[in-house]
Amino acid sequence: MTRTMHRWPAARRFVRATAAVAVLGTAWCVAYLTIGAGTEAFAYVFVPVGGALAAASVHRMSRRDLGLDPVARRFWRAVLLAVGVITIGYAWLAADMLAHAAQARTRSMPTPAAACVAIGFVIAIWALARVPVVANAGVERWRVALDRTIAFLGCSAVLWYVGLAPMLSAREPWSRQAMLLVALCFLIAAGAATKVSYIVGGPVDRDAVRLIASAGGVPAGVVAVLAVQFGYVASIPAQAIVMPLAPLLVTLGVAAQGRADRGLRRDSARMGVWLPYLAIVAVDVPLIAVALGAPLRWPVRVALIATVAVTALVTVRQYIAYRENARLLRNTRVQEERLQYEVSHDGLTGLANRALFRDRLRDALETTGTASVLLVDLDDFKTVNDLLGHGAGDRLLISVARLLRAEAGDGGLPVRVGGDEFAVLLTGAGADPDELAQRLLAAFTRPISEHRLLVQVSIGIAVAAPGATVDSVLLNADVAMYTAKQQGNAGFVRYADGMREPVLAHMQLGGELRRGLENDEFRVVYQPIMRLDGNGPIGVEALIRWHHPARGVVGPAEFIPAAERTGLIVPLGRFVLRETCRQAAAWLAEFGPDALKEAGLNVSARQLHDPDFVSDVTSALADSGLPCERLVLEVTESAVQRGQQVSLALHELDRTGIRLALDDFGTGESSLSLLRAFPAAIIKLDKSFVDGIEIDDGRPAAADARQAVARAVIQLARALGLDTVAEGVESAEQVAVLRELGYTVGQGFHLAEPMTADGVSRLLARQRSASPRAPEESRQRALLSKTRNTGALAIEGPHHASASAVPDHPRG
């Protein structure tokens, strides 16, 4: 930058010097023509002097500014060579004229001098030709080439007709050398005019190129006019006044390049668009002249031939433009169609989106008034994303879309409503939505996607009633789908009147659940798990209750499904987990290790899918100080079968020492196989196998049948070394039968109802006071408290009890 700034004053000095030479030439010419000062040969001195200054200016740029771009450096070095050779030629001419001063007016330019000037002009043309222009490809490259050819021919035709042709037919014809040099100057001017219009932001400044080209074209044009109008006498002002302008224009070009290097380049508008049209107008000048009566000599014929050529090129150019415009129109239509498709279709699956779905449904309601909507929701899609990643989830959605297309056929419009929710719109008069729903459910019983996943769906069906609106139909389908999910996965429900109110109320329950968690409205109660021999509790099952500010105490059967649906089951379960661990640790410290062996909670499948669940459990144990072997986590058979993530979480929990219980045993489809794959420590006999077990109707075979499952479970548990708990014990008769079958632990309203933590504390206190070992136990509690304070407590004992915080099938 500093070097460029130093060069700028030097460039201005050269501009002033060449301008001074031009002024001196003008002053001498005026003096010669008026008072006869000096000899005519002296007119030839000013051009080589100015040329030497211009060459020095270009040399200073190419030598001092080594930071120039290679393209710019190559251009200016070529210009230096051209100016140097031209200056040598005109110096030769000046020396020859001074040596033959008496013949200066009629003497021709020496051939060596003319050759030097011609070579210089060729070098200048070569330098201009190598300046890079706007890079184009394909059709655009051909269009630019035609535009430049049209412009070049148009400019050349005008320069020929106005400048060079009159010199050839002048009364006092100039020498061939002069004609050649003028022609080369015109060629430089025409080529540069065409070239400079397509130079945009390159290393060589456009103004610099324009000035360098003007150094050849402007003097040549003026000299041609003077030669035609004044003959040989015009050589004196041409040499002294006009031609010294060329070195001045060269130094101005150097100065323009210097300004551009300093960041002062002007953002001139592109002339490439207008130049071909200006050339067409210019090439019409000979035609206008002929029309006005100019004689049709051979120079005019040459101009007319150029006009015809330009017209032909313009025709080709317009044809290419027509083809290009047609292609652009086609591309525009294709883009519009693609944009319209993207606006109305899902980007991932290619199915219609919600907007197109609503438009088609609205059209059907306004025209025929008949339409059916099947709303299809994927069950547990979040699990796929969590376990296999979003890429696998996307591929599953694509497979679902493909399946919907195949099953819906031509009579249905498959739609991706959003997320993992799809729909099918049926508008035909004979369409049967129930039959399509059954086909879809059957299709989803087979593995899909490249991961061969088994996916279950819940389908809600709504048939448009007379006067139905788009929103009412979609709301009915959503209510039906929600009802289908409540009834269990892999089913469909058709909307019926009266179905909306309870479902919407259930949906609103989700918002109230979130508010209840924030306002601490949930409480944990505990149902003791009792010894069947009447010797008191061995554990507790934690049950959640919602103390609603308006509804009062709400049981889990009402809000657990909403918690599962909204995902609030995770924070709700985390609350119960931490509260149970805290309270169990408090009982352990107060009543000793033998008072209450275990406490625990039932874990839902949604919690097991949570990646943070295992860390939540270990954190709760660590914060409360409860030994891990005193916590039991109950899971149902359906939850165990929810995939690899659940299995990994359960085995990791088992490795930490936490005991796992298989809840509601006997109600699933794969109980026996689960016992081999699932690290269970406890089997809880479902209440359905306890109900009626005590009935004695005098028929031994019937009694054996009622007791068969309970007997088989206890035998199986003993064979596998598992503990058992009988659930739902409602009477003393059931207790007697269960004890006879071998059960030692049970749970139910007959044994103990759910109670608060204070109620359990009172129960444990009564048990302690009734125990004959109470004094010894007091001593052990003191020892326990001391060891807990030192962090070195280790407790061992039998394991029987379990507890449930958020059951899949809530009890009590």
- What is the Cα–Cα distance from 693 to 741, expressed in whole angstroms? 11
| N-terminal to C-terminal alpha carbon distance within the chain | 87
Find the angle CA(43)-CA(49)-CA(52) to the nearest 5 degrees.
150
CB-based contact 120:89 (threshold 8 Å)? yes
Give 745's strand partners: 531
DSSP symbols for 449-489: TTTTB---EEEEEEEPPTT--HHHHHHHHHHHHHHHHHH-S
- What is the Cα–Cα distance from 277 to 182, expressed in whole angstroms? 26
Q: Is 664 in a helix, a strand, or coil?
A: strand
Q: Is 378 in a helix, a strand, or coil?
A: strand
- Give the burial string for 380-412 (b: 16+ CB within 10 Å, else e): bbbbbebbbeeebbebbbbbbbbbbbebbeeeb
Catalytic residue among 564, 598, 634, 727: 727
Left if phi > 0, otherwise alpha if psi is -120 to 50, otherwise beta: which for 449? left
Place of tokens 């958020």: 806
Query: Could you tell me which residues come within 8 angstroms of residue 376 by beta carbon, excluding any fewer than 6 positions away?
Result: 404, 421, 422, 423, 424, 440, 457, 458, 459, 481
> 673: how many CB neighbours lie within 10 A of its CB?
11
CB-based contact 240:43 (threshold 8 Å)? yes
- What is the Cα–Cα distance from 367 to 344, expressed in whole angstroms? 21
Could you tell me where the DSSP H helices lie in 160-244?
Answer: 165-168, 176-196, 206-230, 235-237
Query: Could you tell me which residues come within 8 angstroms of residue 517 by beta carbon, excluding any fewer than 6 positions away?
Result: 568, 571, 572, 575
Q: What are phi and psi of 192, to 5 degrees?
A: -70, -40
The four Cα atoms 173, 178, 179, 185 give a dihedral, to 10 degrees, of -140
Measured in whole angstroms, the distance separating CA 757 from the mean position of its chain's CA atoms is 53
- Residue 80: both structure tokens together: 């230096």
CB-based contact 794:539 (threshold 8 Å)? no
Q: Which of 461, 468, 384 is nearest to 424 (CA)?
A: 461
Measured in whole angstroms, the distance separating CA 343 from the mean position of its chain's CA atoms is 17
- Give the burial string for 753-785 (b: 16+ CB within 10 Å, else e): ebbebeebbebbeebbeeeeeeeebeeebeebe
Give 413's strand partners: 425
Active site residue 727: yes
Question: Which helix (DSSP H) or strand (DSSP E) does residue 329 occupy?
Answer: helix 298-344
CB-based contact 511:774 (threshold 8 Å)? no
Identity of the residue numbered 191:
G
Give 156's strand partners: none
> 442: how many CB neighbours lie within 10 A of its CB?
10
HSE-CB at 547 with a 13 A cutoff on CA atoms is: 8
The four Cα atoms 210, 213, 214, 218 give a dihedral, to 10 degrees, of -150
Find the angle CA(715)-CA(702)-CA(684) to the nearest 5 degrees.
35
- What is the Cα–Cα distance from 268 to 119, expressed in whole angstroms? 32
Left if phi > 0, otherwise alpha if psi is -120 to 50, otherwise beta: which for 698? left
> 745: how many CB neighbours lie within 10 A of its CB?
24
- Which residues are the active-site residues? 727
